[in-house]
Amino acid sequence: GENVEQHPSTLSVQEGDSAVIKCTYSDSASNYFPWYKQELGKGPQLIIDIRSNVGEKKDQRIAVTLNKTAKHFSLHITETQPEDSAVYFCAARTSYDKVIFGPGTSLSVIP
């Protein structure tokens, strides 16, 4: 079935450094890739998304890249701040119009 893998599972960075989270997907027909941030006890919040006809998208300190051939996509957060600490999920919309989530990355930004 459809699968989304995500690495690393935990990531600790110093404030001001960059953080990179990588994901792979299995369904080559996937065409939409959102990223969500989830704080403890809350629902996921969409932070950025990218469609398959675009290779890169940036929104202030956050950027996402997509390699359709390799079925890879990545999240880049620059100039990290303590409030960036949360669990981040990548996701992919499959050919069955379902959004499948990766297992998540727990990001800690150390002041």
Partner 1 sequence: GAVVSQHPSWVICKSGTSVKIECRSLDFQATTMFWYRQFPKQSLMLMATSNEGSKATYEQGVEKDKFLINHASLTLSTLTVTSAHPEDSSFYICSARTSGRSTQYFGPGTRLTVL
- Residue reference for tokens 């079935």: 1
- Interface with partner 1 (CB under 8 A): 32, 34, 36, 41-46, 49, 51, 89, 93, 97-104
- Least Å distance, CB 84 to partner 1, is 19
Q: Tell me whether residue 17 or residue 59 sits nearer to partner 1 (CB atom).
A: 59
Nearer Cβ to partner 1, position 18 or 28?
28
Query: Rounded to the nearest whole angstrom, what is the least distance from the CB of residue 31 to partner 1 in the complex?
Result: 8
Quick one: 51 or 58, whose CB is closer to partner 1?
Answer: 51
| Distance in Å, CB of 43 to partner 1, minimum | 4
Closer CB to partner 1, 40 or 70, in the complex: 40
CA dihedral 76, 60, 97, 71 (to 10 degrees): -30
C-alpha span between 48 and 36 (Å, rounded): 7
C-beta of 45: minimal distance to partner 1 in Å? 7
Q: To which residue do tokens 């300190």 refer?
A: 61
